[in-house]
Structure 1
Amino acid sequence: MTTKDTLSLVFAALADPTRRNILTRLSQRPATVGEVAEPFEISAPAISQHIKVLEQAGLIERTANAQWRTLTIRTEPLDEASAWVEKHRYEWNQRFDELEEHLKTMTTKEEQ
């Protein structure tokens, strides 16, 4: 999968508040699916679907230990998304700075 495709999956996964809350929960410590589902007032199949989306984006991994299935956050995809945002933020800020300078120049010319 290309970086762009991976980023698309990550940003799509992060677009949902329930999934962001699941990641926040897992950032504190690994948890079972039941523990992750506990605070949400949605069905077990809905939680499973959210977990599946997070897994497909590479944001969490599921490990089996006897009968327990533990979910753990993976930060590498978040690091990649953060790097993408920072790179583009720098470019966007540069463009805004250039636009600001251009507008100042135009205003100065109009005043003369």
Structure 2
Amino acid sequence: MLDRRTYEFLMKMADREEHEIRRVWLPRVKWCQDHHMEDLAEGLKRDLLPQMKKRVIITRQKGDAIKAAIDAVPDERHREVLSLYYLDGLIMEDIAERMAYCHGTVKRLIDGGKALLPDTL
């Protein structure tokens, strides 16, 4: 089931992995090529980099699935509360203040919205 910080966590993980590819692994491939270690450079390009890029794609797809599931919730209030809670990372008190609801109403909307999300998240 979807927990509170899943979407934010997935997006940060994908960003970190992309950063690692750009800042760590691509320079290592270049260094290997510059120092006539073509076999090692080719191995990195052939094996490691595609696996890392695939992880980034899968992570982003999971985040997109969460966003799509929230967007598919039919009730606008549930959708807005779930978006603020999961995608924007706001706490219930901030959501209540922003939407001019009491804390109990926000909790009820979040719980009701969670029930509308697929169990596969």
TM range (shorter): 0.3 to 0.5
**TM-score calculated relative to the size of structure 1:** 0.33
Q: Whose relative contact order is higher, 1 or 2, with alpha carbons under 8 Å and at least 6 apart? A: 2
The structure with more strand, counted as a fraction of residues: 1
- TM-score normalised to the size of structure 2? 0.31
